[in-house]
Amino acid sequence: MLDRRQVVAGLVVKGLGATVLASLVPHQLWAAAIKPDDASALLVIDVQNCFLPGGSLAVKDGEQVVPVINKIAKSFANVVMTQDWHTPGHVSFASAHSGKKPFETIDLAYGKQVLWPDHCVQGTDGASLSKDLAIPQAELIIRKGFHNDVDSYSAFTEADGKTTTGLAAYLKARKVKRVFVAGLATDFCVGWTALDARKAGFETYVVEDACRASTRRGRSPRPGPTWPRPGSSVSSRRISRNASRRARSAWPSWRHPSHSLPKYRKQPHAK
Protein backbone atom coordinates (compact mmCIF):
# COMPACT_ATOMS: atom_id res chain seq x y z
CA MET A 1 0.00 0.00 0.00
CA LEU A 2 1.36 3.42 -0.96
CA ASP A 3 2.20 5.81 1.84
CA ARG A 4 1.53 9.51 1.53
CA ARG A 5 4.99 10.35 0.23
CA GLN A 6 4.65 7.72 -2.50
CA VAL A 7 1.27 9.13 -3.46
CA VAL A 8 2.68 12.60 -4.08
CA ALA A 9 5.88 11.29 -5.67
CA GLY A 10 4.20 11.24 -9.08
CA LEU A 11 3.68 14.99 -9.23
CA VAL A 12 6.09 17.66 -10.39
CA VAL A 13 5.73 21.41 -10.49
CA LYS A 14 7.75 23.11 -13.20
CA GLY A 15 8.40 26.78 -12.42
CA LEU A 16 6.45 29.36 -10.46
CA GLY A 17 3.52 30.78 -12.39
CA ALA A 18 4.47 28.62 -15.39
CA THR A 19 3.08 25.43 -16.84
CA VAL A 20 2.76 22.79 -14.16
CA LEU A 21 2.66 19.13 -14.99
CA ALA A 22 2.06 15.91 -13.15
CA SER A 23 1.25 12.23 -13.31
CA LEU A 24 0.25 9.77 -10.66
CA VAL A 25 0.56 6.63 -12.76
CA PRO A 26 3.45 4.26 -13.47
CA HIS A 27 5.94 5.49 -16.07
CA GLN A 28 5.36 2.53 -18.39
CA LEU A 29 1.75 3.57 -18.94
CA TRP A 30 3.09 6.44 -21.05
CA ALA A 31 4.28 4.07 -23.82
CA ALA A 32 1.42 5.14 -26.08
CA ALA A 33 -0.59 8.28 -26.68
CA ILE A 34 -3.79 8.60 -24.67
CA LYS A 35 -7.23 8.07 -26.13
CA PRO A 36 -9.98 8.82 -23.57
CA ASP A 37 -12.71 6.23 -23.41
CA ASP A 38 -15.97 5.81 -21.51
CA ALA A 39 -13.95 4.95 -18.39
CA SER A 40 -12.14 8.33 -18.53
CA ALA A 41 -13.27 11.67 -17.12
CA LEU A 42 -11.95 15.20 -17.42
CA LEU A 43 -12.08 17.27 -14.21
CA VAL A 44 -12.03 21.02 -14.93
CA ILE A 45 -11.06 22.76 -11.70
CA ASP A 46 -12.13 26.28 -10.74
CA VAL A 47 -11.82 28.13 -14.05
CA GLN A 48 -13.69 31.06 -12.50
CA ASN A 49 -13.54 34.81 -12.98
CA CYS A 50 -11.89 35.46 -9.61
CA PHE A 51 -8.91 33.35 -10.70
CA LEU A 52 -8.65 34.95 -14.15
CA PRO A 53 -7.10 38.33 -15.09
CA GLY A 54 -8.82 41.13 -13.19
CA GLY A 55 -10.10 38.77 -10.51
CA SER A 56 -9.51 39.20 -6.80
CA LEU A 57 -7.22 36.14 -6.67
CA ALA A 58 -6.00 36.04 -10.27
CA VAL A 59 -3.60 33.32 -11.39
CA LYS A 60 -0.94 34.57 -13.77
CA ASP A 61 -1.76 33.51 -17.33
CA GLY A 62 -4.81 31.68 -16.03
CA GLU A 63 -6.83 32.59 -19.10
CA GLN A 64 -4.45 30.54 -21.25
CA VAL A 65 -5.85 27.27 -19.94
CA VAL A 66 -9.30 27.92 -21.41
CA PRO A 67 -8.64 27.14 -25.11
CA VAL A 68 -6.57 24.11 -24.14
CA ILE A 69 -9.34 22.77 -21.92
CA ASN A 70 -11.96 23.43 -24.61
CA LYS A 71 -9.88 21.47 -27.10
CA ILE A 72 -9.22 18.38 -24.98
CA ALA A 73 -12.78 18.33 -23.60
CA LYS A 74 -14.02 17.34 -27.05
CA SER A 75 -12.33 13.96 -26.54
CA PHE A 76 -14.20 13.19 -23.31
CA ALA A 77 -17.68 11.80 -22.89
CA ASN A 78 -17.43 12.46 -19.12
CA VAL A 79 -16.63 16.00 -17.95
CA VAL A 80 -17.04 17.38 -14.43
CA MET A 81 -16.42 21.03 -13.56
CA THR A 82 -15.88 22.59 -10.15
CA GLN A 83 -16.52 25.98 -8.60
CA ASP A 84 -15.26 27.56 -5.42
CA TRP A 85 -18.56 28.65 -3.86
CA HIS A 86 -17.89 30.56 -0.66
CA THR A 87 -20.33 32.17 1.73
CA PRO A 88 -19.94 35.89 2.47
CA GLY A 89 -17.56 36.20 5.42
CA HIS A 90 -16.13 32.73 4.85
CA VAL A 91 -13.60 31.54 7.43
CA SER A 92 -10.86 31.53 4.79
CA PHE A 93 -11.27 35.25 4.06
CA ALA A 94 -8.87 37.66 5.75
CA SER A 95 -11.75 40.16 5.96
CA ALA A 96 -13.52 37.80 8.37
CA HIS A 97 -10.72 38.11 10.97
CA SER A 98 -10.07 41.45 12.65
CA GLY A 99 -6.52 42.69 12.11
CA LYS A 100 -5.58 39.93 9.69
CA LYS A 101 -4.27 40.45 6.18
CA PRO A 102 -4.46 38.25 3.09
CA PHE A 103 -1.90 35.42 3.02
CA GLU A 104 -1.42 35.37 6.78
CA THR A 105 -2.31 32.11 8.51
CA ILE A 106 -4.54 31.19 11.43
CA ASP A 107 -5.14 27.97 13.35
CA LEU A 108 -8.48 26.25 12.84
CA ALA A 109 -9.81 22.94 14.12
CA TYR A 110 -8.48 21.12 11.05
CA GLY A 111 -5.06 22.82 10.97
CA LYS A 112 -3.48 25.99 9.68
CA GLN A 113 -5.52 28.04 7.27
CA VAL A 114 -4.12 30.59 4.86
CA LEU A 115 -6.30 33.69 4.71
CA TRP A 116 -7.34 34.88 1.27
CA PRO A 117 -8.81 38.00 -0.26
CA ASP A 118 -12.58 37.62 -0.62
CA HIS A 119 -13.18 35.52 -3.72
CA CYS A 120 -15.77 33.33 -5.43
CA VAL A 121 -18.63 34.49 -3.22
CA GLN A 122 -21.85 32.66 -3.99
CA GLY A 123 -23.94 34.33 -6.68
CA THR A 124 -21.34 36.91 -7.67
CA ASP A 125 -19.78 37.36 -11.10
CA GLY A 126 -16.41 36.44 -9.62
CA ALA A 127 -17.73 32.98 -8.77
CA SER A 128 -18.99 32.39 -12.30
CA LEU A 129 -17.19 30.02 -14.63
CA SER A 130 -15.32 31.68 -17.48
CA LYS A 131 -17.69 32.67 -20.27
CA ASP A 132 -15.14 31.35 -22.75
CA LEU A 133 -15.40 27.75 -21.57
CA ALA A 134 -17.20 25.76 -24.25
CA ILE A 135 -17.98 22.32 -22.82
CA PRO A 136 -21.68 21.70 -23.49
CA GLN A 137 -21.38 18.02 -22.61
CA ALA A 138 -20.25 18.72 -19.03
CA GLU A 139 -22.59 16.64 -16.91
CA LEU A 140 -21.91 17.88 -13.38
CA ILE A 141 -20.72 20.98 -11.54
CA ILE A 142 -19.30 20.35 -8.07
CA ARG A 143 -19.49 23.40 -5.80
CA LYS A 144 -17.04 23.38 -2.92
CA GLY A 145 -16.16 25.67 -0.03
CA PHE A 146 -19.79 26.46 0.75
CA HIS A 147 -19.49 25.36 4.38
CA ASN A 148 -18.73 28.60 6.18
CA ASP A 149 -16.28 27.14 8.70
CA VAL A 150 -14.26 24.82 6.43
CA ASP A 151 -12.28 25.66 3.32
CA SER A 152 -12.17 23.30 0.37
CA TYR A 153 -9.55 22.85 -2.34
CA SER A 154 -9.97 19.31 -3.61
CA ALA A 155 -12.92 18.34 -5.78
CA PHE A 156 -13.17 15.18 -3.65
CA THR A 157 -12.62 16.15 0.00
CA GLU A 158 -12.84 19.37 1.98
CA ALA A 159 -9.92 20.80 3.93
CA ASP A 160 -10.87 18.97 7.11
CA GLY A 161 -9.90 15.74 5.36
CA LYS A 162 -13.24 14.14 6.26
CA THR A 163 -16.11 15.87 4.49
CA THR A 164 -16.54 14.53 0.97
CA THR A 165 -18.17 16.19 -2.03
CA GLY A 166 -19.59 12.94 -3.40
CA LEU A 167 -17.49 13.13 -6.56
CA ALA A 168 -15.72 9.81 -6.03
CA ALA A 169 -19.01 7.96 -5.65
CA TYR A 170 -20.42 9.74 -8.70
CA LEU A 171 -17.48 8.71 -10.89
CA LYS A 172 -17.43 5.14 -9.63
CA ALA A 173 -21.16 4.77 -10.25
CA ARG A 174 -20.41 5.64 -13.88
CA LYS A 175 -17.53 3.14 -13.98
CA VAL A 176 -14.89 5.82 -14.46
CA LYS A 177 -11.43 4.44 -13.76
CA ARG A 178 -9.08 7.25 -14.76
CA VAL A 179 -9.27 11.01 -14.45
CA PHE A 180 -7.48 13.88 -16.14
CA VAL A 181 -7.25 17.05 -14.07
CA ALA A 182 -6.99 20.55 -15.55
CA GLY A 183 -7.65 24.12 -14.40
CA LEU A 184 -6.57 26.48 -11.64
CA ALA A 185 -4.40 26.41 -9.75
CA THR A 186 -2.03 23.48 -10.01
CA ASP A 187 -0.22 24.03 -6.73
CA PHE A 188 -3.48 24.20 -4.79
CA CYS A 189 -6.93 23.08 -5.98
CA VAL A 190 -5.70 21.07 -8.95
CA GLY A 191 -2.95 19.49 -6.85
CA TRP A 192 -5.22 18.51 -3.95
CA THR A 193 -7.77 17.15 -6.42
CA ALA A 194 -5.12 14.97 -8.07
CA LEU A 195 -3.90 13.65 -4.74
CA ASP A 196 -7.41 12.81 -3.57
CA ALA A 197 -8.28 11.22 -6.92
CA ARG A 198 -5.31 8.90 -6.55
CA LYS A 199 -6.25 8.21 -2.95
CA ALA A 200 -9.76 7.28 -4.12
CA GLY A 201 -8.29 4.69 -6.46
CA PHE A 202 -8.44 6.49 -9.80
CA GLU A 203 -5.62 6.40 -12.33
CA THR A 204 -4.78 10.09 -12.27
CA TYR A 205 -3.17 12.54 -14.67
CA VAL A 206 -2.65 16.30 -14.54
CA VAL A 207 -2.53 17.88 -18.00
CA GLU A 208 0.57 20.06 -18.11
CA ASP A 209 -0.55 22.81 -20.47
CA ALA A 210 -4.14 22.94 -19.22
CA CYS A 211 -3.08 24.25 -15.77
CA ARG A 212 -1.32 27.22 -14.27
CA ALA A 213 0.22 27.63 -10.83
CA SER A 214 -0.44 30.45 -8.37
CA THR A 215 2.35 30.05 -5.81
CA ARG A 216 3.26 33.27 -4.04
CA ARG A 217 6.78 32.84 -2.79
CA GLY A 218 7.20 34.15 0.73
CA ARG A 219 3.53 34.73 1.46
CA SER A 220 2.63 31.20 2.43
CA PRO A 221 5.22 29.10 4.28
CA ARG A 222 4.00 25.87 2.72
CA PRO A 223 1.64 26.95 -0.04
CA GLY A 224 0.00 23.66 -0.93
CA PRO A 225 0.80 20.04 -1.67
CA THR A 226 4.47 19.35 -2.43
CA TRP A 227 5.91 17.09 -5.05
CA PRO A 228 9.02 15.37 -3.63
CA ARG A 229 9.95 13.64 -6.91
CA PRO A 230 9.14 14.20 -10.59
CA GLY A 231 7.18 11.91 -12.83
CA SER A 232 6.31 11.55 -16.51
CA SER A 233 4.28 14.35 -18.10
CA VAL A 234 1.16 14.46 -20.21
CA SER A 235 0.35 17.36 -22.48
CA SER A 236 -2.86 18.10 -24.31
CA ARG A 237 -1.21 16.87 -27.50
CA ARG A 238 -1.34 13.33 -26.10
CA ILE A 239 -5.09 13.46 -25.56
CA SER A 240 -7.07 12.88 -28.73
CA ARG A 241 -9.80 10.72 -30.18
CA ASN A 242 -7.29 9.71 -32.85
CA ALA A 243 -4.11 9.80 -30.77
CA SER A 244 -1.18 8.15 -32.50
CA ARG A 245 2.00 9.88 -31.36
CA ARG A 246 4.00 8.36 -28.56
CA ALA A 247 4.01 10.12 -25.20
CA ARG A 248 7.22 11.79 -24.13
CA SER A 249 8.99 11.34 -20.86
CA ALA A 250 10.06 14.35 -18.79
CA TRP A 251 12.19 14.21 -15.67
CA PRO A 252 12.96 17.84 -14.75
CA SER A 253 14.97 18.47 -11.62
CA TRP A 254 12.99 21.52 -10.44
CA ARG A 255 11.45 21.10 -7.02
CA HIS A 256 8.61 22.97 -5.37
CA PRO A 257 10.05 25.58 -2.91
CA SER A 258 7.87 24.56 -0.01
CA HIS A 259 8.86 22.00 2.58
CA SER A 260 8.33 18.26 2.31
CA LEU A 261 4.86 16.98 3.05
CA PRO A 262 4.97 15.49 6.55
CA LYS A 263 1.31 14.61 6.75
CA TYR A 264 -1.30 14.63 4.01
CA ARG A 265 -3.71 17.07 5.66
CA LYS A 266 -1.39 18.97 7.95
CA GLN A 267 -0.23 21.47 5.33
CA PRO A 268 -1.57 25.02 5.81
CA HIS A 269 -4.60 25.00 3.59
CA ALA A 270 -4.18 27.27 0.63
CA LYS A 271 -5.59 27.90 -2.82
Q: What is the pTM of this model?
A: 0.77
- CATH for 36: 3.40.50.850
> Residue 270: its pLDDT value, please?
52
Torsion of CA 161, 164, 168, 170, to 10 degrees: 180
> Residue 265: its pLDDT value, please?
42
Answer whether residue 116 is part of any domain: no
Answer whether residue 186 is part of any domain: yes
Domain span including residue 67: 4-84+122-238
Total number of domains in the chain: 1
Answer whether residue 267 is part of any domain: no
Answer whether residue 36 is part of any domain: yes
> Residue 271: its pLDDT value, please?
60
Answer whether residue 260 is part of any domain: no
Answer whether residue 23 is part of any domain: yes
Answer whether residue 95 is part of any domain: no
Answer whether residue 145 is part of any domain: yes
- Active-site positions read 46, 144, 189
CB contact set of 26 (below 8 Å; sequence gap of 6+): none
All residue ranges of the chain with pLDDT < 50 are: 1-31, 217-232, 243-268
